[in-house]
């Protein structure tokens, strides 16, 4: 139990530091008075307006997290170029559609982070998240060919694997109920 309390305190301290840094950045003035005001505002936010506790299972793996960041940046850049090409090319708009993805992510928090990551990639938007079945419905800009669909599923599977490796214990991983191409 003491480890859980320590983890909560570390989390609260991290949030306090983050909120203080955001306060100072928003005001654009790194002074003692502004920093103290940021600490006071952060204390009010953390203790007067607490967020509900989110159960956290698994462990943070820094090397896997760095791989996740690198892959996310790559996919975001690749998708941005694809969206720009669709906007500039002389032919009509691409065929878009909604694709269903079954994920094997165990943690609610990691599932939401995965959905957020998919939303950050241009040309995709998560429309629905079914936690009970661990299914995500994603609007995809280009589903005009089988290759595009397969590439989307390959990208999603890689991001899912990287999220699990970075934030969950792979031994606790749930297998998807339906295999996607």
Could you tell me if 154 and 162 are in contact, meaning their C-beta atoms sit under 8 angstroms apart? no
d(CA 98, CA 8): 39
The model's pLDDT over 130-139, given as tens digits with 9 standing for 90+, comes to 988 889 999 9
CB atoms within 10 A of CB 3: 7
The model's pLDDT over 1-36, given as tens digits with 9 standing for 90+, comes to 455 557 677 878 888 999 999 999 999 989 999 999
Q: Residue 22 has which token pair?
A: 């955001």
- Domain ranges, ordered by start, for the chain: 2-48, 62-172
Fold classification of 62-172 (topology level): 3.90.1150
Mean pLDDT throughout 128-155? 92
The model's pLDDT over 162-175, given as tens digits with 9 standing for 90+, comes to 999 998 865 554 55
The model's pLDDT over 69-125, given as tens digits with 9 standing for 90+, comes to 999 999 999 999 988 998 898 888 889 999 999 998 888 888 888 999 999 888 899
Query: Is residue 43 packed enough to be buried (19+ CB in 10 Å), middle (13-18) or exposed (0-12)?
Result: middle
Look up tokens 């996740």; give the residue.
68
Residue 37: pLDDT over 50: yes
Which residues fall within 8 angstroms of residue 21, CB to CB, at 6 or more apart?
Answer: 38
pLDDT for the residue 65: 92
pLDDT for the residue 56: 65
């Amino acid at each position: 139990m003491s480890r859980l309390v320590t983890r909560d305190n570390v989390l609260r301290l991290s949030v306090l530091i983050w909120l203080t840094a955001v306060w100072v950045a928003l005001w654009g003035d790194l002074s003692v008075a502004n920093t103290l005001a940021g600490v006071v505002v952060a204390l009010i936010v953390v203790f007067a307006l607490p967020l509900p506790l989110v159960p956290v299972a698994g462990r943070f793996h820094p090397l896997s997290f760095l791989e996740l960041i690198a892959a996310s940046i790559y996919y975001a850049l690749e998708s941005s170029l694809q969206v720009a090409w669709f906007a500039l090319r002389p032919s009509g708009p691409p065929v878009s559609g909604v694709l269903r993805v079954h994920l094997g992510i165990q943690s609610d928090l990691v599932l939401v982070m995965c959905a957020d990551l998919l939303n950050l990639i241009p040309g995709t938007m998560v429309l629905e998240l079914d936690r009970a079945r661990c299914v995500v419905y994603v609007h995809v800009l280009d589903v005009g060919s089988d290759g595009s669909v397969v590439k989307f599923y390959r990208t999603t599977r890689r991001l899912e694997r990287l999220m699990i490796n970075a934030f969950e214990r792979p031994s606790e991983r749930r297998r998807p109920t339906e295999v996607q191409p």
